[in-house]
Amino acid sequence: MNKLERLLEDLKLRLPEREINKAKEAILAFRELSAIPVSPLYPRGFHPILRLKKRLGGIYKEVLISPLDLTIITGANMPPWKRIFEFTIDEDVVERGEIQGIRILLVGKPQELRMVRTLLSEIIPQMNVRPIAIYSLKNEIFLKFEGERFLRLRIIGSTLEFTSFNFQLSHLPRVLGRAVFTLDSLFRSKNAEFYRLFFVASLGTFNAFYTFFMRHVYPKLPLEHKEFLEEMHDYKNFLQLLYFHFSRMNLDRIRNEVGIIIRRRSRPDRPLELRIIFRDNGVEVRDRVGRAQVEVLV
């Protein structure tokens, strides 16, 4: 008898026998999720513990399980550093299968799984490189790519939190393709890492960069900077110059901001400074830079 079989025999003493198969599915799913570096179950300085809950009459029966060790957790063997994740047998679902030919493992309530499937149906066709596997836990989606590379999408209402693992920033737009712009349109608010990715993805074409600038930068420009642009007959020429310099940058060195110095022939004594900062919930614009990555002369 292996460790899993022994664990399931122990569970028969604590849960109705008809629920053992579903408990087994949950244990194996959480064990698999524990191996994903961008998953909240990944054991970084703590031991993930699965709390299985089953409603019996008017009360909930609970069992704590280690998906790593495949053992029942009691007060005697409770890890000192732990994080507990719940799975309610009556409400939560484990789904294995395929979406558009990609292997999936989805865990959560039925409405959460529908939300995940809907989002995936929107972004997978837009991607240049398809993931080799997709996982989800409640409102979080994990996309696995060749070379142990991962993307994490966490959805809270109309807010998206994007995280990458083992990816170079410059490579992400080549993997995600138009999916970057699809995600931007689907969510009202994103985190700083997404806005940084969105900026880099916009450098793929001038039209995309123009859209990014006019949507996220232009409305927040200081008055002097707006007047400078409006004095030009066609400030698209200036934005094309800016785009040319940006596209030649080492994109992998971009962190949370980009600094620009604009030297004007008409005002050599007064250069304009422009600082584009990637924040949670949006792009911030300031008129002072700490370090300039780009200098333009106009």
Query: What letter does residue 39 receive in the DSSP assignment?
Result: S
Tokens encoding 42: 């990944």
Domain count along the chain = 3
Question: For residue range 161-182, what is the model confidence (pLDDT) as tens digits?
Answer: 999 999 999 999 999 999 999 9
Question: Do 9 and 84 have their domain in common?
Answer: yes
Tokens encoding 278: 């990637």
Question: Do 230 and 281 have their domain in common?
Answer: yes
Report how far residue 41's alpha carbon sits from residue 34's, in angstroms, rounded to the nearest whole number: 5
Question: Do 183 and 114 have their domain in common?
Answer: yes
Question: Do 184 and 227 have their domain in common?
Answer: no
Domain presence at residue 232? yes
What pLDDT is stored for residue 150 in this prediction?
99
Q: Answer whether residue 1 shows pLDDT above 80.
A: no
Q: Which of 22-26, 148-152, 233-237 has the lowest mean pLDDT?
A: 233-237
What pLDDT is stored for residue 232 in this prediction?
78
Considering only residues 148 and 267, tell me which one the structure prediction assigns the higher pLDDT: 148
Tokens encoding 183: 């995600």
Domain presence at residue 205? no
> Does residue 36 contact residue 142 with C-beta atoms inside 8 Å?
yes
Q: Report the pLDDT averaged over residues 221-226.
A: 91
Domain presence at residue 206? no
What pLDDT is stored for residue 264 in this prediction?
85
Question: For residue range 106-130, what is the model confidence (pLDDT) as tens digits?
Answer: 999 999 999 999 999 999 999 999 9
Report how far residue 280's alpha carbon sits from residue 126's, in angstroms, rounded to the nearest whole number: 24
Question: Do 83 and 113 have their domain in common?
Answer: no
Domain presence at residue 202? no
Q: Report the pLDDT averaged over residues 176-201.
A: 97
Q: Which residue has the tokens 């940006």?
A: 246
Q: Which of 180, 74, 169 is nearest to 123 (CA)?
A: 180
Report how far residue 61's alpha carbon sits from residue 236's, in angstroms, rounded to the nearest whole number: 65
Domain presence at residue 208? no
Q: Report the pLDDT averaged over residues 147-153.
A: 98
Mean pLDDT taken over the chain: 95
Q: Report the pLDDT averaged over residues 232-247.
A: 88
What pLDDT is stored for residue 54 in this prediction?
94
- Residue 14 is part of which domain span? 3-88
User: Residue 297: which pLDDT band, with cuts at 50, 70 and 90?
Assistant: confident
Report how far residue 226's alpha carbon sits from residue 228's, in angstroms, rounded to the nearest whole number: 5
Report how far residue 288's alpha carbon sits from residue 217's, in angstroms, rounded to the nearest whole number: 14
Question: For residue range 24-43, what is the model confidence (pLDDT) as tens digits?
Answer: 999 999 999 999 999 999 99
Report how far residue 235's alpha carbon sits from residue 228's, in angstroms, rounded to the nearest whole number: 9
279 by DSSP, 3-state: which? Answer: strand
Q: Which residue has the tokens 């244990």?
A: 27
> Does residue 126 contact residue 179 with C-beta atoms inside 8 Å?
yes
3-state SS of 104-169 is EEEEECHHHHHHHHHHHHHHHHHCCCCCCEEEEECCEEEEEECCCEEEEEEEECCEEEEEEECCCH
Question: For residue range 46-96, what is the model confidence (pLDDT) as tens digits?
Answer: 999 999 999 988 888 999 999 999 999 998 999 999 999 999 999 999 999
